[in-house]
Structure 1
Amino acid sequence: MRITRYWAGISLLLLLSCMVWLTACGDKKSSNADSSQASANQTEDTAPLAQEVKEGDFVYRLVAETAEDHSADSVKLYAELEYAGDQDEVTITHAMSPFYFPMKETTRGYDISYMMDQPLITTTLRKGEPLREQYRASGGYSADQDPKDYIEFIKDFTANGFLPGRYEVNGFADFNLLVGDKSEPYKLSATVVFTVK
């Protein structure tokens, strides 16, 4: 009887030891998977962020490039419009630019509008040669209606560019393709998200 209890105790102790060992190994694997995932995320964070959209014969790209340190002065935000159809070139009409860069600073929850003059401008796009425009800080506020914090943020943003925070840019290209004496409207949109530290 004593021997049976002895072996039962030893068996229980071995079973508990195995369970602790397996749990520790499982945690280590989980931890390694987490660190691999963190490495993948870090690589994604340092890579240029871009989205490309195609509609008909046009390709619209929205690109945000940031350095590894995500510093404000390293951000390059731009848009491209490319004609990829059968003709050598086409003519489009648009406002001051076909590109719009409205965005939201999601850390603070601030919308940053993108204002533009609205003349009618004609541009020729040659096949395979993208039209590119770099973003210039823009934004507006109502001194009577907007909170003081928001007004200060917009003033600082328009004077100095991107401030620390997370930005979601909902860019789009808005233009008309001229076909003979008619025009076909196009609006291609894309979104990129990046963080400034």
Structure 2
Amino acid sequence: MTTIKKIFLLIFILIALVACGTAKQDDEQIFSKDNKGIMDDFIFQLKSEKDTYTLNEPLQIYAQLEYVGESDEITIYHASSPFILELKELNTNFDFGYAMDTPLLSSTLKKREPLRIPYSFSGGYNEFSPDDYVQFVNKLMDGEFPIGRYVITGKTDFYIETDEAKQTYNMEQSIEFEVVEN
């Protein structure tokens, strides 16, 4: 085998090993207390101050977007929020969507000054929803998280305009937390 072929083979093996290590790392981080997604000049984080909350304790969970590009500031375009925060309760397997108004708004992000939005429940039910689901949703709407294990999946949905075109940013992070009896 020629030296050039050996070098290409070595580079290919190194790339494959790095890719495998990265995939495993992403799987391990999906339910961490502090997740971070990076895309181009933006850092998206979904954070919980704690892994476990007691019954009726306010959640300290928030989504955060930070601009780290070269300009002093940048304008992003989004619906009511650049974040979508979906909730799932793992014991009951109740999945709550995320309802949001969809006007076109803009926000100006200053470099290294994060936009931070606390989690608040946004979901509902209809006349076909089972009674236990309706009761659960009503508690969540009152700010009471019943005892259980939860996953919040946070997503970004915004775009910027460049000289060339619109560039859309969709990043996703998930965190898990538990609510226990006092």
Q: Which residue of 1 aligns with 2:133?
A: 150
What amino acid maps onto 2:178 in structure 1? T
1:90 to 74, 81, 105: 74
The structure number with the bigger radius of gyration is 1
1:102 to 74, 86, 92: 86
Q: Structure 2: 5+ residue runs without aligned partners?
A: 1-31
Q: Which residue of 2 aligns with 1:50?
A: 34
What amino acid maps onto 2:93 in structure 1? G
Q: How many residues align?
A: 149
1:96 match: secondary structure: strand
Following superposition, the deviation at residue 69 of structure 1 comes to: 5.6
- TM-score, with normalisation over the residues of structure 1? 0.71
Following superposition, the deviation at residue 188 of structure 1 comes to: 0.8
What amino acid maps onto 1:62 in structure 2? L
Residue 122 of structure 2 is aligned to residue 122 of structure 1: no
Task: Provide the C-alpha distance between the structure 1 equivalents of 2:143 and 2:115, rounded to a whole number of angstroms.
Answer: 26
Q: Structure 1: 5+ residue runs without aligned partners?
A: 1-47
- TM-score, with normalisation over the residues of structure 2? 0.76
Percent of aligned pairs with the same residue? 36
What amino acid maps onto 2:80 in structure 1? M
1:188 to 166, 171, 174: 171
Q: Which residue of 1 aligns with 2:54?
A: 70
**Structure with the higher fraction of residues in helix conformation:** 1
Q: Which residue of 1 aligns with 2:153?
A: 170
Q: For each residue in 1:31-63, what CA deviation from the matched residue of structure 2 results, as whole angstroms up to 9, or x when unmatched?
A: xxxxxxxxxxxxxxxxx8110010111000001
Contact kept in structure 1, 2:151 and 2:177, CA below 8 Å = yes
Contact kept in structure 1, 2:36 and 2:44, CA below 8 Å = yes
Provide runs of 4+ in structure 1 moved above 3 Å. 67-72
Higher relative contact order (CA 8 A, sep 6+): 2
Instruction: Name the CA shift for 1:192/1:67 in 2 (closer, same or farther; >3 Å).
Output: closer
Output the aligned Cα RMSD: 1.8
Contact kept in structure 2, 1:67 and 1:74, CA below 8 Å = no
1:95 match: secondary structure: strand
